[in-house]
Amino acid sequence: MAFDVDLFVIGGGSGGVRAARIAAEAGARVALAEESRMGGTCVIRGCVPKKLMVFASAFPDAMEDARAYGWGAEVGAFDWPAFRGKLHAELARLEGVYRANLTRAGVAIHDARASVADPHTVRLADGTEISAAHILVATGGRPFIPEPFAALRDQGHPVLVSDDIFDLEALPRSILILGGGYIGCEFASILHGLGVEVTQLVRGAQILRGFDEEARGHLADSLIARGIDLHCGTDLLALEPSEGGLRAKSTDGRERVVEAVLFATGRVPNSDGLGLAEQGVTIGRRGEVVVDDWSQTGVPSIYAIGDVTDRIALTPVAIREGHAFADTVFGAKPTRADHDLVASAVFTRPELGSVGLTEEEARARGPIEVYATSFRAMHQAFAGRSERVMMKLIVDADSRRVVGCHIIADGAGEMIQLAAIALKMGATKEDFDRTVAVHPTMAEELVTLRTPVRRG
C-alpha cells in the first residue's frame, strides 16, 4: 500500500520535533501536526521561560551580596510587564527556530489538532486525512486542577496552573502554591525572589518525593530560611472567593487569604481525544500510552515518546526517545533509549542536582557507604549568608562504584551534569579520590570526601 508519508508525528514539542527532523534527514517523508505553538511545553510554557524567570528572581540576592562585597548597589522595583515582553519575544524567536529547522529538513507542518483515525491514518481537525506508514504520538502532558477547585477557575477566579504564570498581566502580591514537586518548589522560589509573598502546602511529609531524603530535608530547610512559608503534611481543604482574592482553608486548621492560588499538583499524559484506545493502543491508569523499550505500542505502526508515555518526564529524555525511534525505524540503527542514570536538576534557590540512586534505594539493594558534607560556600560566607551547601555520594560497598550523587548549591544543575558522566562511565570512589581538586570551588568537595559518614 502506498502511503502519503512515511511518518506522521502528532505533537511539536522537543521530542516530536527531534524525531521528525532525524527521520526526514534519513530520507523519510515526514509530516507533523501541532495544535498549539511549536516547541511544546519545554520551550513555550516550561523549562525555557521558567529558567529565565529563575535568572530574574536571583537579582535581589545578587544586589544584596554586591553590597556585602563593597559595591554601592541598589535594586529597584521589578518591572514584570517589561520582563514578560522580552520573555515572549524570546519564546517567539525559539519557536521560529524550531519551525525553520523542520522546514529545512523537509518536514510538512500542519498547524492543527490531529487524531488517529486508524493504524495508518491521521485525521486533522478540518477533516483532512493523511495516510502514514508509521505514526508517532508525542503530545506531552498537561497540568490539571482537581475538582472541585477547577470550577473556581472556570468562573474566572485566580486559580492558576504553571502555564498561566508566564502570561499574567501582573504578579500577585501573595500566592498559595499547592504541591511539592519540581514545579511547586521552583515557582515558590521564583515568585518569592520576584517579591511575591509565597505560602506552599505539601500534602506529603516532605517536598520532592522520589529524591534523596537527606537532600529533601536540607532543601526544605533552605527554602524556609529564605522566607517561603512552607507547610508539609498539609493539604487544601476548601477554597472560596473572598475580598482581596481567595480564602484558603487547610487541613492544619489554618485559614489565609491570598491573591492567587497555583495548583502544582502534578501533570497528566496528554492522550485524551487522540483516538488511540479505539485503535487498540493500551492506555494506562493515569492516561499514559503504554509502550515497550522501543517506544512501540501494541499496534505495530503506532509509537509514542515523551511525557505522554509517563516514563521519565524530562525534555532531554523525550529528545533521546525521539532520536532513538527515528534511528531505529528510519536510520537502520536499532536503538533503545537509555533511561538509566538520568541526571536531573530542580531550579530552586539553592538548586538541587541529582543522579543515580538515593541513599534509601541504594541501601535496599545491598551494603553501601555514604559520603556527605555540608558547609557554607565561600561566596555566601563572605556575604554573611547562613545558607549551606550539601554534597553527597552513595557508594556500593562491594563494587566501589559511585551509584548516587546529590548536590544542593547554587549551580548544582551545572555540577550534576558533569558528575553524571562519571557515574555513567562506572566511576568508583577511588576514581573520585584520584582526581585532583580544583581550588577554591564548591565542586572540589566531591573529590575530597575521604571518610564515610554512614555505612549500611
**Residues identified as active-site:** 439
CA 99, CA 301: separation in Å to the nearest integer? 26
Say if residues 230 and 224 touch (Cβ distance below 8 Å).
Answer: yes
DSSP for 301-321, written as a single string: TEEE-GGGGTS---HHHHHHH
**Contacts for 375 with CB less than 8 Å, ≥ 6 apart:** 388, 389, 445
**Inter-helix orientation angle 47-57/80-105, to 10°:** 150
CA 18, CA 24: separation in Å to the nearest integer? 10
Question: Reduced to 3 states, what is the DSSP secondary structure of residue 234?
Answer: coil
Cell of 135: 505514526
The partner residues of 303 in beta bridges, in order of sequence, read 136, 296
* Burial class for 424, CB neighbours closer than 10 Å (0-12, 13-18, 19+): middle
Question: Reduced to 3 states, what is the DSSP secondary structure of residue 194?
Answer: coil
* Burial class for 150, CB neighbours closer than 10 Å (0-12, 13-18, 19+): middle
Give the E-state strand segments of 125-277 in sequence order: 129-137, 141-143, 159-160, 174-178, 197-202, 229-232, 236-242, 245-250, 255-258, 260-263, 267-269
Distance between start and end Cα atoms, the chain: 61
**Inter-helix orientation angle 59-68/47-57, to 10°:** 30
Nearest-5° angle of CA 321, CA 322, CA 323? 90
* Nearest C-alpha neighbor of 143 from the set 264, 257, 20: 264
Say if residues 229 and 89 touch (Cβ distance below 8 Å).
Answer: no
Say if residues 7 and 136 touch (Cβ distance below 8 Å).
Answer: yes
